[in-house]
Structure 1
Amino acid sequence: MTRNRQSGVSLLNVLAVLAVGTGLVQIMLRDQDAAVQRLDHTNSAAQAHALAKGGITSVAVALQRDFQDSPDIDHLGEPWAQAAQDQIALDFGKFEVSIEDARGKFDLNALGPAALAEIRVFEALLVTLDLPRILAGQITQIVLQNGPLTGPEALLEYGIAQSDVDRLNPHVTATVTRGTLNLNTVTAPLMAALLRNPSAARGLIARRAAQGWLEARDLAALGVVQPPISGYTSDTFDVTTVASVGEARARLTRRLVRDTDTGEVHRIALP
């Protein structure tokens, strides 16, 4: 009886040790699985970032090639613009690229007391957008006292209403370099503000949509004099790439500035 009791106690001890051991193994395996999952996520995040970065590089390369092939004109039918694509699915992930021509928008940082042509265009843009012209003076003072601005949203910090910024946002930008407005990419309201002739602006927008670009002869055909702060080329482009691999997602936004003399493209991170 005593031996059986001792055997029972021994068996209980063995079972207890096995239970503890099994528990420890389960904990170790669970920790190992978590570590593997973390490693997989880290690898996926690195791959997603590399994929997004590759999207930026593809646009930069296209812009450099464009400078060699057609330095006298930039429009949305060119290969650099075609680099912007809907979502592309790959074996290991997916990505998409979007491009905005910063010279297709009015540069708020160009406003200043000596920038009479820019101020007139900006006032005309405000009228076209049904915004009060007094904003031109207010924003000019903001730029003079606090500029250069990092973007239209910076106006909110200085008392410009959210509704006014929202109305302006599709048509304005803020850069640290000066350049002419590209007639091949300006928005319709900005075209109207540049020409101060709604009928001529509509005609040029229609012609641009039909043939893909504008040249000096297109303006001449409509009897339009080219505005002094406009042109047909661009040097500043805002590129956003979004990539995902597994559950990891990466989003990069870069401003690509192309040297007008050499065609070299510099990358600037945006907020």
Structure 2
Amino acid sequence: MSRGADAGERGMILVNVLLFVAIASGIVMLMISGEDGALQRAGRMREAARAQAIARGGETSAVVALRRDLLTGPDSDNAGERWAAGDRGVAIDGGTFSLAIADAQDRFNVNAVISGEAGPIELLSRIGLSAGLTPEQIARAIELIRLAGPIADLRPLARAGLDPTVAARLSTMITALPHEGKINLNAVGEPLLAILLDDPMKAHELIAVRTRQTYLTPQDFADAHVAVPQQAGFTSSLFRVTASVTIGDTTQHFTSLIARRMVDGVPVAAVIARARGGAAALAGGPAGRPS
């Protein structure tokens, strides 16, 4: 074989070697990239699991606080009590933790219309008209609730043909809860209180009193020369707990619904529903996604 042929063969071998090296390098890079991706996913899963464990711990502390409150303050549930303070941005190892407890009975429970009693149906009708629903839409919404109820959230009402803006306005005054209970006057918003009293001026006056002292009493209503609405009271048995946990680059939001009552003189509180997401996730509005 000639020297030219030998040189050409050596050149071809070199090209092949370089090609194999390039392929091998690519495979190694893919393997490293895949391992990095797997490690990142595993890291995120660990962070998510830890976030959930921390949220459950916060949930347990909320149960304890609400149980204690039933003993120390059974006659009123309001924003001035210790359970309502929550925790904001508490530093934890590798991140932050926040916990908020909200009164779930701050709005009208639409499942009350399932009973067929005139009072709840009449109140929901008045709320619907105030929010901008037509009488036909209100009748359809009531029919949907009674046929499908008790509903877990407000999404079924979308089938009543509600405009999104109207639905959003309506969701600030209604909710869907599994237990019957009166609207808590210490948590209700001013628009719904105005409907309950059929007097916007008195509602504004009472909200101002509540803002000043964090609570309302029967005497406050007597002083304002209005009766306490029949479907309202000053305490609650259902509370919504929202925990937000950030660990590294992972942020998780958890919502729990806690029911509380006295049983043979003993306060009992327990989680009856959980969802992944913010406050709207449990019966809060049309966008809720209970799980």
| TM-score, normalized by the shorter chain, greater than 0.5 | yes
Where in structure 2 are there 5+ consecutive unaligned residues? 1-5, 275-281, 283-289
1:42 to 40, 45, 65: 45
Shift of 1:224: 1.5
Instruction: Quote the Cα distance in structure 2 between the aligned partners of 1:196 and 1:213.
Output: 21
1:146 is the counterpart of 2:159: no
Contact 1:129 1:189 in 2 (8 A): no
The worse-fitting range, judged by mean Cα deviation, of 206-215 and 257-266 is: 257-266
Paired residues, what number? 267
Contact 1:235 1:260 in 2 (8 A): no
Q: 1:86 to 1:133 in 2, by over 3 A?
A: farther
Shift of 1:161: 3.3
Q: 1:196 to 1:210 in 2, by over 3 A?
A: same
SS at match of 1:249: strand
The worse-fitting range, judged by mean Cα deviation, of 33-42 and 208-217 is: 33-42
How does the TM-score come out when normalised to structure 2?
0.78
Please show how residues 1-271 of structure 1 align to structure 2 within 5 Å: 23=25, 31-83=34-86, 85-112=87-114, 114-261=116-263, 262-269=267-274, 270=282, 271=290
Alignment RMSD (CA, Å):
3.1
Contact 1:124 1:196 in 2 (8 A): no
Instruction: Quote the Cα distance in structure 2 between the aligned partners of 1:113 and 1:32.
Output: 59
Shift of 1:72: 1.3
Q: 1:260 to 1:227 in 2, by over 3 A?
A: farther
Shift of 1:241: 1.8
Instruction: Quote the Cα distance in structure 2 between the aligned partners of 1:234 and 1:52.
Output: 23
How does the TM-score come out when normalised to structure 1?
0.83
Q: 1:219 to 1:134 in 2, by over 3 A?
A: farther
2:42 maps to a residue whose letter is L
